[in-house]
């Protein structure tokens, strides 16, 4: 059975959907692809990997240079090319960007920039697999699962620029932890 919970963040609510039978995280939803939490979800019923992910999301929004683990994420079903793309994207340092064309070349398929874009558009784990760090060759934002406003905010946050907290997140954090 799949269950979704909502996690508070500076960019707005993040939904985390997991499969209780396999104890794996199915997807992360943000912005335009946010899924409301399952009604009646029992607090504490989430798998251990969900708790780890929630802690990692909090750590990321406290320190943009935090590195995520891929614990509890299922990357099954990816082609060899898609997996190479994901691997290349996961090593882009916080505060840096790469173009779709650069990722295609690094993944061993120069000229496959559009295919990289399709892989990024299907990324089920935004932020953790940092597809927001992939931009166009000319420096444009390209697209983003959560919307361009969120992509711009994440890139600004990671580069140390001003970051505006959502009121819900600011109210849920002590001043020492606020970004």
Percent of the chain beyond pLDDT 90? 51
What per-residue confidence (pLDDT) applies to 12? 87
Taking only the tens place, the pLDDT of each residue in 97-148 is 999 999 999 999 999 999 999 999 999 999 999 999 999 999 999 989 888 9
| pLDDT higher than 70, residue 163 | no
More confident residue, 46 or 83: 83
Residue range 17-28: average pLDDT? Answer: 88
Q: Assess contact for 36 and 6: CB atoms under 8 A.
A: yes
Stated pTM of the model? 0.83
Catalytic residues: 131
Average pLDDT, the chain: 83
Rounded to an integer, the average pLDDT of 22-48 is 70
| pLDDT for res 34 | 66
Q: Is the pLDDT of residue 164 over 60?
A: no
Average confidence (pLDDT) over 9-25: 88
Kindly list the structural domains of the chain, giving each domain's residue range(s) and its CATH number in brackets, ordered by start.
80-158 (1.10.10.10)
């Amino acid at each position: 059975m799949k269950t979704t919970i909502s996690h508070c963040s500076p960019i707005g609510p993040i939904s985390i959907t997991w499969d209780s039978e396999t104890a794996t995280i199915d997807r992360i939803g943000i912005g335009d692809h946010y899924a409301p939490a399952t009604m009646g979800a029992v607090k504490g019923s989430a798998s251990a990997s969900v708790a780890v992910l929630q802690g990692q999301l909090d750590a990321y929004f406290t320190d943009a240079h935090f590195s995520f683990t891929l614990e509890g994420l299922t990357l099954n079903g990816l082609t060899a090319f898609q997996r190479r793309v994901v691997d290349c994207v996961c090593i882009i340092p916080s505060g840096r960007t790469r173009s779709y064309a650069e990722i295609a070349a690094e993944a061993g398929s120069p000229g496959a920039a559009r295919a990289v874009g399709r892989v990024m558009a299907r990324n089920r784990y935004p932020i953790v697999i940092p597809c927001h760090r992939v931009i166009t060759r000319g420096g444009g934002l390209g697209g983003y699962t959560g919307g361009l406003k969120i992509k711009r905010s994440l890139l600004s946050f990671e580069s140390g620029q001003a970051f505006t907290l959502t009121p819900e997140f600011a109210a849920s954090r002590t001043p020492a932890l606020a970004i």
